[in-house]
């Protein structure tokens, strides 16, 4: 056998596994420490009541011969695809049903989509960014180019004519920096993609957090984007499905090359390699889009937004520079006293028993920064913010 040698080119363990191991080791050595985790962007509020009711109902259906379901359509049940179609229509975006594919989450599809592209495609990613985009491509042996996202460009790199690439990843609102592109900025990306015969893989997992006018919630807000962009989204952040697993991917029928349709290729790929998301889960996801579902979910999003404001206020008081937290659940702070990201991680764990995510884990330009998630419990977030403030004050 011949192993995929490209696995030796990625870090031995995934960023969030690394953090989990470090925290577990610290906790084992200091069992008395009350560690507060604001590292991985995992939600803490339970599923909304309409979602729970829909899940229960679907479970009962599965226990009755008359309503039992076996294999479902690989691309998802029409009831959920129609609910998503309506969700986009409510924002003025017209999607065909066949363009909507239900998945078990954005992370899986971001990797799976690469089946559609040859190995010799050059990849362009912002730095820093969600590490999955880079790792997926390095594992497959593709060349990855980086565009710097820095405080100078508000962590929103724009296309450059001289930069050539075939597949570009955009994540907006951004993980980890919380920066969100405006529709006008995305127009430039769509134009660039058309001129460079490139495809945009647009990660909209955090679209529900957009609250500032002008910021885009979907790349399809840009006219003509359906000719060059695939959009990947998730129920994890909007509706707390991190443990329930459901997402969706929009593969427009307009993306074609050499007589091949990306949409048809994706359908072929999914029907061959995927047997769909459980019926029960899709019924739960459908309930997200009901009036009561949306109402409860907005309430939950406000809870997380408030956590972000609590973290931001503590950093303001501590005199630490940060951004994000407005259109995103992530607050992106500069490490105090010129510390490097992992040094600050260790220092904060030791001195405040607070866990965050080192910025350098998202790419070299993230060095010297640190990400805190607002997805935590409100009381614990307040306590963590207080500890953070005190610990930073002790440095002065």
Closest C-alpha among 358, 351, 361, 359 to residue 389: 351
41 belongs to the binding site for ligand MLT (CB under 6 A)? yes
Binding mask 128-167 for ligand MLT (x = CB under 6 A): --x-------------------------------------
Is residue 324 left, alpha or beta, with left meaning phi > 0 and alpha meaning psi from -120 to 50?
Answer: left
328 belongs to the binding site for ligand MLT (CB under 6 A)? no
Query: What are the C-alpha distances in Å from 191 to residues 130, 225, 237?
Result: 24, 9, 29
User: Which stretch in 36-44, 166-174, 213-221, 287-295 sits in contact with ligand MLT by CB under 6 A?
Assistant: 36-44
23 belongs to the binding site for ligand MLT (CB under 6 A)? no
| Nearer to ligand MLT among residue 226 and residue 326 (C-beta) | 326
Closest C-alpha among 113, 110, 160 to residue 131: 110
The tokens describing 285, both together, are 């996801």
User: Which stretch in 38-46, 48-56, 113-121, 296-304 sits in contact with ligand MLT by CB under 6 A?
Assistant: 38-46
Q: Which residue is nearest to ligand MLT (CB)?
A: 41
The tokens describing 185, both together, are 């900025």
Binding mask 70-109 for ligand MLT (x = CB under 6 A): -------------------------------------x--
Tell the smallest beta-carbon distance from residue 387 to ligand MLT (Å).
21
Are the beta carbons of 127 and 149 closer than 8 angstroms? yes
Are the beta carbons of 302 and 149 closer than 8 angstroms? no
Tell the smallest beta-carbon distance from residue 126 to ligand MLT (Å).
14
40 belongs to the binding site for ligand MLT (CB under 6 A)? yes
53 belongs to the binding site for ligand MLT (CB under 6 A)? no
247 belongs to the binding site for ligand MLT (CB under 6 A)? no
| Nearer to ligand MLT among residue 50 and residue 240 (C-beta) | 240
- R_g of the chain computed on alpha carbons: 21
Coil, strand, or helix at residue 259? coil
Closest C-alpha among 232, 225, 220 to residue 190: 225
**Residues within window 338-367 making contact with ligand MLT, judged by CB under 6 A:** none
226 belongs to the binding site for ligand MLT (CB under 6 A)? no
The upper half-sphere exposure of residue 7, i.e. CA atoms within 13 Å in the direction of its Cβ, equals 6
175 belongs to the binding site for ligand MLT (CB under 6 A)? yes
Tell the smallest beta-carbon distance from residue 371 to ligand MLT (Å).
8
User: Which stretch in 40-48, 53-61, 71-79, 113-121 sits in contact with ligand MLT by CB under 6 A?
Assistant: 40-48
The tokens describing 280, both together, are 């029960």
Are the beta carbons of 166 and 198 closer than 8 angstroms? yes
Query: How far is 64 from 376, CA to CA, in rounded Å?
Result: 39
Helix axes 341-352, 15-29, angle to 10 degrees: 30
The site for ligand MLT (CB under 6 A) is made up of 40-42, 107, 130, 175, 236
């Amino acid at each position: 056998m011949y192993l995929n040698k490209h696995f030796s080119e990625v870090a031995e363990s995934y960023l969030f596994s690394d953090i989990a191991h470090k925290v577990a080791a610290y906790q084992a050595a200091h069992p008395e420490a009350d560690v507060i985790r604001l590292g991985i962007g995992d939600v803490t509020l339970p599923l909304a009541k309409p979602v729970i009711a829909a899940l229960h109902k679907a479970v009962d259906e599965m226990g009755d011969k008359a309503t039992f379901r076996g294999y479902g359509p690989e691309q998802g049940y029409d009831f959920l695809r129609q609910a998503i179609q309506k969700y986009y229509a409510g924002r003025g975006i017209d999607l065909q049903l066949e363009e909507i594919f239900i998945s078990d989450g954005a992370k899986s599809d971001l990797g799976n989509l690469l089946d559609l592209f040859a190995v010799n495609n050059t990849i362009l990613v912002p730095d820093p960014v969600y590490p999955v985009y880079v790792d997926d491509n390095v594992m497959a042996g593709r060349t990855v180019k980086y565009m710097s996202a820095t405080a100078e460009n508000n962590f929103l790199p724009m296309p450059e004519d001289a930069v050539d690439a075939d597949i570009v990843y955009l994540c907006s609102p951004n993980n980890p920096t919380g920066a969100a592109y405006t529709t006008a900025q995305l127009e430039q990306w769509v134009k660039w993609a058309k001129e460079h015969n490139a495809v945009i893989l647009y990660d909209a997992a955090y679209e529900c957090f957009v609250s500032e006018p002008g910021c885009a919630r979907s790349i399809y807000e840009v006219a003509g984007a359906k000719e060059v962009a695939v959009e990947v989204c998730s129920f994890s952040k909007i509706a707390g499905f991190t443990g329930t697993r459901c997402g969706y991917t929009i593969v427009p029928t307009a993306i074609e090359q050499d007589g091949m349709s990306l949409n048809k290729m994706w359908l072929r790929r999914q029907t061959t390699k995927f047997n769909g998301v459980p019926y029960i889960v899709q019924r739960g996801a459908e309930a997200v889009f009901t009036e009561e579902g949306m109402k409860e979910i907005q309430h939950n999003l406000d809870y997380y937004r408030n956590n972000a404001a609590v973290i931001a206020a503590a950093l303001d008081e501590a005199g630490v520079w940060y951004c994000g937290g407005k259109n995103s659940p992530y607050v992106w702070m500069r490490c105090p006293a010129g510390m490097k990201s992992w040094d600050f991680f260790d220092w904060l764990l030791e001195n405040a028993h607070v866990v965050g995510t080192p910025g350098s884990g998202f790419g070299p330009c993230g060095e010297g920064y640190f990400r805190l998630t607002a997805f935590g419990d409100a009381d614990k977030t307040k306590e963590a913010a207080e500890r953070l403030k005190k610990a930073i004050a002790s440095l002065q």
